[in-house]
Amino acid sequence: MDQETRDGGYPAAGPYDAGRGPAAGRRRGAWPAGLLLVVPTSVVVCRAADTDAVTPVPQLLAFLPWLLVPASVALLVALFARRRLLAAWAVAVLALTGWFVRPYDTGLTDDPPGPAVARVEVLTANLEFGGATDALIAAIGRERPGLVFVQECPAVCSEALASEVLRADYPYRRVVEADGAAGSAILSRYPLTPATGVRSVLGMPAAGARIAGRPVALQLAHPLPPVPGAVTDWRRELARLRDRAAAVTDRPSVVAGDFNATREHAAFRDLLEAGGLRDSARLAGASRTPSWPTALPRPLGAQIDHVLVSEDFSVRSARFLDLGATDHRALLVSLELHDVR
């Protein structure tokens, strides 16, 4: 009997078996880790470089916090595979992504810029082709905001908002009459004066309001979404909003609506900086509350609906409302207008 049989009856392994064993399995596991890191790395590098780049980066930037998931899985796989460089790559991606998506400080404890002269409630809602019109009217009745910004308000929606009851409560308005998603409206309890809206495919009206004797610039926002093939148009319309915001820094301003952008987008950050604007939800501690799409449960989704205000306003609260019959949540913010003269 040979030595193999005497030692237990099993064939002796050769000096090296490249296709079997734990080491080979770990080597094969390194490939999935590398693939999992490609997309998070590309997106977070663009975020660090302050660019929205090209498709699919603008779309993925909206969901930047959720790229922590594949990066975390990649780290675990790299550790199992005992690949130090791969693990270091995953740690770097996680650290950089975590830095960008860290919780923001709120501004609720900031010293106000001057004495408060008025409390202003602002509601913005995308109705998805008017589907949530009835729900919006009900929310207006409950919350009684002073300013309402409505997006995707076609003819049937516009007619409903012009009903006798709403006319009595909101006698001042600026409306873009259009079909489908292009219709929009600003409803106000405060006197309005006409202003030229931002040129765009979807309606973006503007107005001047008189609140507690102070002129306030109002601008509805609804640029095109950054879908593949329309990223250039999306960037162009956000740039026009940026230019409008920069042109009215001499008075209090409110820019509200569906921006189809989050704070992770460079074009949106440019708008904030140029107009000296602040994001109400961020100041109220709700910067990561998703507003779209409602088909995903919280906290999944992205916050693309915003109420941006100049430093003349302080923020008391921000709430996202589920209207139903629309893929957006409405945003209701409570502001105080301060006299900074």
- Tell how far CA 14 is from the center of its chain: 59
Domains and CATH numbers, the chain: 22-100 (no CATH), 116-338 (3.60.10.10)
Q: What is the pLDDT of residue 20?
A: 55
Q: What is the pLDDT of residue 164?
A: 74
Q: What is the pLDDT of residue 331?
A: 98
Residues 76, 86: Cα–Cα separation, whole Å: 10
SS3 141: helix
Q: What is the pLDDT of residue 114?
A: 85
Q: Does an H or E element contain 120, and which?
A: strand 116-126
Residues 160, 82: Cα–Cα separation, whole Å: 64
Phi, psi torsion values for 141, nearest 5 degrees: -65, -35
Is residue 228 within 8 Å of 55, Cβ to Cβ?
yes
Tokens for 48, please give them. Answer: 């660090």
Residues 67, 44: Cα–Cα separation, whole Å: 9
Is residue 260 within 8 Å of 234, Cβ to Cβ?
yes
Q: What is the pLDDT of residue 18?
A: 47
Is residue 275 within 8 Å of 243, Cβ to Cβ?
no
- Tell how far CA 313 is from the center of its chain: 21
Tens-binned pLDDT, residue by residue, of the chain (341 aa): 444 444 444 444 444 444 555 555 556 667 888 999 999 999 999 999 999 999 999 999 999 999 999 999 999 999 988 899 999 999 999 999 999 998 766 666 567 788 999 999 999 999 999 999 999 999 999 999 999 999 999 999 999 999 877 889 999 999 999 999 999 999 999 999 999 999 999 999 999 999 999 999 999 999 999 999 999 999 999 999 999 999 999 999 999 999 999 999 999 999 999 999 999 999 999 988 999 999 999 889 999 999 999 999 999 999 999 999 999 999 999 999 998 76
Count the neighbouring beta carbons within 10 Å of the beta carbon of residue 274.
17
* Residues 144-157: tens digit of each pLDDT: 999 999 999 999 99
- 71-103 burial, b for 16+ CB within 10 Å, e for fewer? bbebbebbbebebeebbebbeebbebbeeebee
Single pTM value for the model: 0.90
Residues 256, 108: Cα–Cα separation, whole Å: 20
Tokens 């404890």 sit at which residue? 109
Residues 298, 286: Cα–Cα separation, whole Å: 12
Is residue 77 within 8 Å of 25, Cβ to Cβ?
no
Q: What is the pLDDT of residue 23?
A: 56
Beta-carbon-side half-sphere exposure of residue 165 (alpha carbons within 13 Å):
6
Q: Which residues contact 15 (CB under 8 A, 6 or more apart)?
A: none
The three-point CA angle 59-63-65 to 5° equals 150
Q: How many helices (H) and strands (E) would you count in the chain?
A: 11, 12
Question: What single-letter DSSP state applies at residue 18?
Answer: T
Q: What is the pLDDT of residue 111?
A: 73
Residues 43, 90: Cα–Cα separation, whole Å: 14
Q: What is the pLDDT of residue 110?
A: 67
Residues 236, 250: Cα–Cα separation, whole Å: 24
Is residue 75 within 8 Å of 94, Cβ to Cβ?
yes
Q: What is the pLDDT of residue 26?
A: 58
Tokens for 54, please give them. Answer: 């090209």
Is residue 115 within 8 Å of 335, Cβ to Cβ?
no
Q: Strand pairing of 172-176 and 147-151?
A: unpaired
C-alpha torsion sign, points 278, 245, 331, 299: negative
Q: What is the pLDDT of residue 102?
A: 86
Residues 190, 208: Cα–Cα separation, whole Å: 10
